[in-house]
Amino acid sequence: MLNKEDFKICIVGLGYVGLPLAARFSLKGFNVVGFDTNKERVDQLINNIDINDDISIENLEILSKNAKLTTYIDDIKESNIFIVTVPTPINEDKTPNLVPLISASELVGSVIKKNSIVIYESTVYPGVTDDICTPILEEKSKLIFNEEFSTGYSPERIVPGDKVNTIEKIKKIVSASNETSLNIISFLYSAIIDAGIHQASSIKVAEAAKVTENIQRDVNIALINEMHQLYTSLDISTLDVIEAASTKWNFMKLTPGLVGGHCISIDPYYLMHKSEVSGYVPNIMRSARKINDEMGNWVLENFIKFTKENSIDLKTTEITIMGYTFKENCSDIRNTKVHDLAISLRDQGFKVMIWDPYLDSKTINNLKHKNISSSNQLTKNVELAFVCVYHKEILNFLDLYNGFIYDFRKLNKIS
């Protein structure tokens, strides 16, 4: 019989993934320590402040009251379950950047003791847990893998900004390096995930499943983006086409857009890297990434065409970019493609103003240093609305706005 009291859980990384996870374990009565190297972040959470707005204030208060939130390594040494939730970004050349994961593995390896289990949730290509992280844990701990400690992998599936499909409502994939650990990991996640769990046959299968989820979405969005460019050139409404096509039950209803964020626009490069190293050329994945990466260039060209067709003088007209985050009704700005659009417009000498109700003071200051004005409040008249993100506040504004509206997803209709 497994009991909650037998486990002391340390969540390594208190960001978009780690914080909801720590809160959920704490809410369900587990002994939890939340660790992060960012002291400012930890201090904010202790004071019930979450700038990412990932969990409710009630759950944040429960977490800060019942769990230990810390930046000190000594505070995690009594833990026997370590769940690593650090980011896995890419380098400038689009290759995987495993530095955060390697650093976290070195840290955990330096404190784990016999019978510990280290579970990774960070998105990686198949083989990272076994081939990169586990040897680091062995070296740092001087423990024998699968005899004195074991590993697991349970990919995160949290969608930033989604208040409906929250962590407990999304089925969890679990995997482990041995059957005993798989039973323990299954017990832990079953206690916090109402939707249940799925036991993958191996850690590599679980790793592959995660990147496959996001790559499938990336490929399908690329197809819609390509069709949108075609239909726009033919003066056909893409949205009307989608509405018509979606009357068939098996049509996947997606809409064109700028693909940013920390998942769909990043994860494909991990599997593409592994594929190319293995000698296989992933043609569809590469083509999809190229289409989505270059969508911003098409939007910019289409915008210039729109202004010429409507006799808008960009030398004297200020462009108000509406929305900056990578998706609607969410404060997450990671890898937002709107940033690239703003930089391109600035470099062409146009007057640009960004309005996004979810902008914080840090982002506003960072944009200011790049000579781009921005605000989370609309304080002056809009001459030309360049719609990028469908925040509810932006849609409400557009309902009452009578000026020029450029919205690349709605075929540039003018109010």
Residue 240's DSSP bridge partners are none
Catalytic residue, chosen from 10, 263, 330, 388, is: 263
Contacts of 392 (CB under 8 A, 6+ apart): 328, 329
Q: Could you count the other beta carbons within 10 Å of the beta carbon of residue 347? A: 9
> How many Å apart are CA 273 and CA 108, to the nearest integer?
26
**Cα 273 from Cα 91, distance rounded (Å):** 12
Instruction: Tally Cβ neighbours within 10 Å of residue 17.
Output: 26
Question: Is 263 tagged catalytic?
Answer: yes
Q: How far apart are CA 297 and CA 224, in angstroms?
A: 16
Q: Which residues are catalytic?
A: 263
